[in-house]
Amino acid sequence: MDGEPVTLETVPAIGKRLYVSWGLGNELHVVDLADGITDQCSTASVVQWHEPSAVQRRIAYDSLGKYQELQQGGQAALSPNGWSATLDYSRAVSAILAADGVRGVEATGPELAALREQALWNLLTLFFLEGAGGGSEGQGLVSQDLAAWLRSHAVAASGGVGASPLPAPLAELLHAAVLPEGDAEYWPTVSRLIALGWIDSAIELLGLHSAWLRYDGSAQPAATDTAAQALVAGLEAATLLLRRFPLLAAAGGGGAAPFAGAGRECGSGSEFTAYRRTWQAQCAALAADEGMWQACEGADIVTANGLRLVLGVLAGEEAALAAASATWLELLVAQLLHIYPTARPRGELRQLSQRCFEAGGGAAAPDFLQAAAALLDACCEGDVQDAMRVCSAHCSPWFMAHAPHIMAAHPAGAGVLGRELAFHGGDQVEFYTLEAAAALMPHPTTWPLAAAYLAWCPVHGQAALQALLRRLPLQAADPWVVRKAIEIAERHGLPRLVEELQRRQGVLCWQAGMLGAALHWLAACGDVQRIDTCLQPLADAVSAGRVSAEQQAALQALQPMLQSLPPGSSNCTLLDVHRLLTSGGGSSGGVGGGVDGGGMHAAVAALVQLPEGMRDSCLQLVCGVLPTMPPGQLSEPDVLFLLQWLLSAEGRLPAGKRGAALAAAIMTARLTLVRSLAGSHMRQQAVGVRV
């Protein structure tokens, strides 16, 4: 919903209700209940903001390991080892941001957003970590560093592939053309490339000029094509100046220079300054060569004007640089390279940046170029807080969670970033980490990433983690979510939350009719009361002696689970007694179909373990089995226990028909037990007489 207008509705106090509640992180659940008067239906909707795109989700997954590695390193940010670790982290994250690149002919919105964040990321790295221009003491030129930075992020700075200094379709068109210099974009592109320091690309385009092919001194007399000869003289002189373009070998920490082998490198600042004076004199001499210019104009006025524009750029003419630059940022780089190559970040660069911003129409520039202007201003001043302000207004929550670690390695960063926020309780690093986690929470594949980031929030992390895991939308049919949540809770030492998640999943499965899964989860948290509730329908059917075929199949399937449930469930014991009585201690059989002594003895042992109040639920089942049992199958202690239990249970029978029916069944069962006991005594006496 970023960028979309938000409208607020006035809700009448009577007849209509609008309910709003928090979801996961950056998510609101809204329910608009109908007033009951009109035909309008009730609606429910979900509102999310800062929702990560597919590209941003990929970046979040890929960068998490680097983030954790930096955090777990435990190095002081301002120490040499800490600085080195942060630099490795910054470069790794930069590569992750650029991994998608531009897959099609033109960059999509998410691709362009990632490339722009990479550009701002590397700008922060250049000034706060590497030190633009070699830092305060190192040798280098911020002009070359910024030129290298702009070339690396040309698509982001230009607003797309098509607007970049040398888009691939244009390069292919010029290479395939018979007369490339006849294309309207040829000379503007050459001059723009030179202004930005893309010397190698400019030399390549100059080499495409058709005059080189028409001029061949070895195949024909030179006089046969004087026009080509005149043009080649001008092209050759311009190319030679480009190949001699003055550079400083140590270009700070900005990475690969934009010149790609072109130009002449100087080993020191003094050598660079002296050589540049000589080179500028050569440019002036070429500009003053009237004979060459007259010959070029006579051969091809368009080429002559193009070469004059190239020479104007090399000479640092402000009008030529302005004409060759498409944006204020390109104008800044052009002026740095060709007028103020030795400008320092503090003071000179900031003033020049502001001047180019005004001259290059920065106020009407796209958001990214305005953000780059504000961030460059903060970087020049070494103002960490201002840099954070700019980034928070233009970058994603993910960016804000990771960028502070770059600035923390700068002397100005530690004190600012570690300062406690009065309204928050934690510092800025934690604040933006929580914001990033909130953006990741609503998406079904990134909420585990949010939990991982919360682990590094010392003040509010644990509370936020518990809130996240409690609000997760669990699913009965897909236990992955709850298993992942339990894994996270166990890793962070939250046993009560583990039990809560297991209980929630168990109830969900129970509501979905997944009895086995429900018992599994409820057993894991030891919730005997809900286990009893889940088993109540089966226990009622067994107690009433009306077990359907479907219920019988369910009982058989649940037997392994029932035997592993925690003790204390009366319904579980009832079903266990039912199993023992119907299985006959291992043989098959149905209720009332007879049971052997082993099964009945095990059933009695199970009854003994139950409290008296729980045993009564087995009355109908036991009373139904005892009359069908062959004589002599029970031991005397079993018989005595059953007689005592039945006698006491008779006094607890409910009134009415059910109580009367149970009383009759108890009487029959007691009679069976008495006969069994009498028969046992008679057999013992008979054995004694024979002895």
Mean per-residue pLDDT over the chain, rounded? 87
pLDDT computed for residue 591 by the predictor = 40
Q: DSSP secondary-structure letter at 41?
A: P
Identify the pLDDT of residue 587: 36
pLDDT digits (tens, 9 = 90+) for 394-434: 999 999 999 999 999 998 887 888 888 888 888 999 999 99
**pLDDT computed for residue 16 by the predictor:** 60
Tell me, yes or no, if the pTM score tops 0.85.
no
How many whole angstroms separate alpha carbon 30 and alpha carbon 45?
A: 5
- pLDDT of 631-672, one tens digit each? 777 788 888 888 888 888 888 888 888 788 888 888 998 888
Using one digit for the tens of pLDDT, what is the confidence trace for 503-513?
Answer: 999 999 999 99
So where are the chain's domains?
A: 131-380
Say if residue 137's pLDDT is above 50: no
CB under 8 Å, gap of 24 or more: what pairs does 44-51 form? 47/1, 48/1, 48/442, 49/1, 49/2, 50/2, 50/26, 50/396, 50/397, 50/438, 50/439, 51/1, 51/26, 51/439, 51/442, 51/443
User: What pLDDT does residue 214 have?
Assistant: 85
CA dihedral 556, 560, 563, 565 (to 10 degrees): -110
Is residue 134's pLDDT more than 80?
A: no
The CA distance from 603 to 592, in Å, is: 15
pLDDT tens figures, 360-371? 999 999 999 999
Strands 43-48 and 27-33: antiparallel
Q: Give mean pLDDT, residues 43-67.
A: 92
Residue 523: partners with Cβ closer than 8 Å, 6 or more residues away: 531, 561, 564, 565, 566
Q: Examine the pLDDT at 305 and tell me if it is beyond 70.
A: yes
Half-sphere exposure of 359 (CA within 13 A, CB side): 17
Q: Are 478 and 65 in contact (CB under 8 A)?
A: no
Q: What's the one-letter identity of residue 309?
A: L
3-state secondary structure (DSSP) of residue 265: strand
Round the CA-based radius of gyration of the chain to a whole number and report it.
42
Angle ∠(499,503,505) on CA atoms, nearest 5 = 120
pLDDT for res 14: 53
Identify the weakest region by mean pLDDT among 59-68, 173-182, 613-622.
Answer: 613-622
Cα–Cα dist 263/241, whole Å: 9
Encode pLDDT of 238-296 as tens digits: 999 999 999 998 644 443 455 656 789 898 889 999 999 999 999 999 999 999 999 99
Place of tokens 């369910």: 554
More confident residue, 36 or 638: 638
pLDDT over 90 at 29, yes or no: no
Spell out the SS3 assignment of 370-438: HHHHHHHHHHHHCCHHHHHHHHHHHCCHHHHHHCHHHHCCCCCHHHHHCCECCCCCCEHHHHHHHHHHH
Express each pLDDT in 65-121 by its tens digit: 999 999 998 888 888 999 999 999 999 999 999 998 888 888 999 999 999 999 999
